[in-house]
Amino acid sequence: MTRAPTRLRTWLGSALLAFSALPSSMAIAQEPVKASAVRPALWKVADKDTTIWLFGTIHVLPEQVDWYAGPVAKALDSAQELVTEIPIGATEQAQSTILHMAARKDGKSLRDTLPENERVAYEGALASIGIPAQAFDANDAWFAALMLTLIPLKTAGYSTDTGIDQQVAAKARERKLTNHAFETVDYQIGLFDNLSDTTQRTYLAEVVDALPKVRTDVDQMVAAWKTGDADHLAELMNEDESDPEIRRVLITDRNANWARWLKSRLDKPGTVFVAVGAGHLAGPDSVQEQLAAAGVRSVRVQ
């Protein structure tokens, strides 16, 4: 079995924000199709007076899917509070934040910071998707890596409009649910911006190497999500992560923070629907594993 490239997982956690930095003209018009039925994974955490539903989302999809059905629909309909990675509506101000943080502050061109072999490969990757070599010269390596991952997806029709987060948010607005966000836009983008230069360059080099397979690999992740195959999704997204800084910053530490909040939330009565990127609810160091380490049990519902 072919695994997704190590760094592809990283865009899934920030695609909702990063897509706002892409020109809208890159999308290809899609013919309307009937939404396909899916059975994404759902977990339940509960005590005598509190219920917390854990639902893994896919931030961008290539077509509409019928996710709002069965246990997932019942769980969301029963909730008084929606918990998300960033506040509902935050993507509206994300573009300026991303572009500000991604701007180089050392006075150097991105390409000038790359060894010759990496620069040649990087320029070739940009050319392969019709992007000028100088396009991201004024940006940090993490931003160039995200754009190289997302541009082919947007060109292929992937969109946040068909992604699950915006649809969950719309239903929450209709019901006027209270919204708690684990993180702010600044914090989430800052996770990338504060990565060491070495890690950022390694990230970029691996994305360049993986570029020809981006669409195929992400399609595999989406297929696993649609069937609720959390184990396969974890294998595709997380288990091949070799960089300890990336794993700690983007997976382990965040999941641990979220699990601490969720454990504390059990002290307050009510029903909570948590909608976060599916990668956080799969594999080693998942939110469920962090909860279990703290003595809190989660049960798979779908």
Q: Please give the share of the chain, as a percent, with pLDDT higher than 70.
A: 86
Band (109; pLDDT cuts 50, 70, 90)? very high
pLDDT in tens, 208-240: 998 998 888 888 889 999 999 988 888 777 655
Band (244; pLDDT cuts 50, 70, 90)? confident
Indicate the pairing of strand 42-46 with strand 50-57: antiparallel
- What pLDDT is recorded for position 238? 62
Higher pLDDT, 214 or 294: 294
Cα maximum dimension of the chain: 61
Whether the CB-CB separation of 135 and 111 falls below 8 Å is answered with no
pLDDT at 113 over 60: yes
pLDDT at 134 over 80: yes
d(CA 253, CA 266): 21
- What pLDDT is recorded for position 242? 60
Task: Kindly state the helix (H) or strand (E) to which residue 259 belongs, with its residue range.
Answer: helix 253-265
Q: Which has the closest alpha carbon to 272: 82, 141, 102?
A: 82
Higher pLDDT, 56 or 238: 56
Look over the chain and give the mean of its residue pLDDT values, rounded to a whole number.
87
The model's pTM is 0.90
Q: Please give the share of the chain, as a percent, with pLDDT higher than 90.
A: 60
- What pLDDT is recorded for position 160? 85
Retrieve residue 18's tokens. 């990063």
Mean pLDDT of 3-22: 54
Retrieve residue 132's tokens. 């000028």
- What pLDDT is recorded for position 14? 56
Mean pLDDT of 184-192: 91
pLDDT in tens, 136-181: 999 999 999 999 988 988 888 888 888 899 999 999 999 999 999 9
Retrieve residue 202's tokens. 């390694």
- What pLDDT is recorded for position 34? 59
pLDDT at 13 over 70: no
- What pLDDT is recorded for position 25? 54
pLDDT in tens, 84-108: 999 998 877 788 888 899 999 999 9
Sequence-distant (6+) residues with CB within 8 A of 264 are: none
Cα–Cα distances in Å, from 159 out to 18, 48, 61, 216? 11, 40, 6, 16
Higher pLDDT, 267 or 14: 267
Mean pLDDT of 25-30: 52
Amino acid in the structure at residue 268: K
pLDDT at 3 over 50: no
- What pLDDT is recorded for position 268? 97
pLDDT at 115 over 90: yes
